[in-house]
Structure 1
Amino acid sequence: MKGGIDVGENKDSLRHKAKGAKDKAVGEMKDSYGDAADDKKKKAEGKTQKAKGHGHDAVGEAKEDRD
C-alpha cells in the first residue's frame, strides 16, 4: 500500500484517470482562453484535449472494472 491507496492492480487504471483529469483541466483552460481571446484555434485545441481526457477516463474505468 502506498500513500493509503492500494495501487497494486489498479495502478494502470489510476494512471489513466490522472491523465484524464489533467487533460480535461488543461483543455478547459484552453477552451476558456479561446473564448476570452476570440481564438478559434485555441478553443478547438481545448475541446480536443477535453475529449482526450474523457477518453483516458473511460479507459481507466474499463481497466478498473476488468480487475
Structure 2
Amino acid sequence: MSAGKKIKHTATTAKGKAKEAAGKAVGNERLVAKGKGEQIKGDAAQAGQKAKDALKH
C-alpha cells in the first residue's frame, strides 16, 4: 500500500475515533454512530489495500 493511502485511511479511522469520543462525551448518539461508521470505513479501506498488495506480490 502506498504511504499516502495508508495515511489517508489511518486518518479516517482516527477521525472516526475522535467523533465517537466527542459524541460519548456530550451524549450525542448520532455523532457516536457517525464516528463508528468512519472507523469501519477506514478499517475496510486498509484491509482492501492490504489484500490488493498481497495479490500483487
Q: TM-score, normalised by structure 2?
A: 0.85
Determine what percentage of the aligned residue pairs are the same residue. Answer: 28
1-side partners of 2:44 and 2:9: how far apart? 7
**Gapped regions of structure 1 (runs ≥ 5):** 1-12
2-side partners of 1:30 and 1:45: how far apart? 7
Match 1:49 to one of 38, 41, 56: 38
Q: Which runs of 4+ in 1 moved over 4 A?
A: none
User: Would you say 1:35 and 2:24 are equivalent positions?
Assistant: yes
Match 1:59 to one of 41, 45, 48: 48
Instruction: Work out which of the two has the higher radius of gyration on C-alpha atoms and give 1 or 2.
Output: 1
Pairs aligned (count): 54
**Which whole-Å deviations, capped at 9, do the CAs of 1:14-59 have from their partners, x for residues lacking one?**
22x3332011100000000001010000000000000001111111
2-side partners of 1:20 and 1:66: how far apart? 20
Q: TM-score, normalised by structure 1?
A: 0.74
- Give the RMSD, CA atoms, in angstroms: 1.0
More helix by share: 2
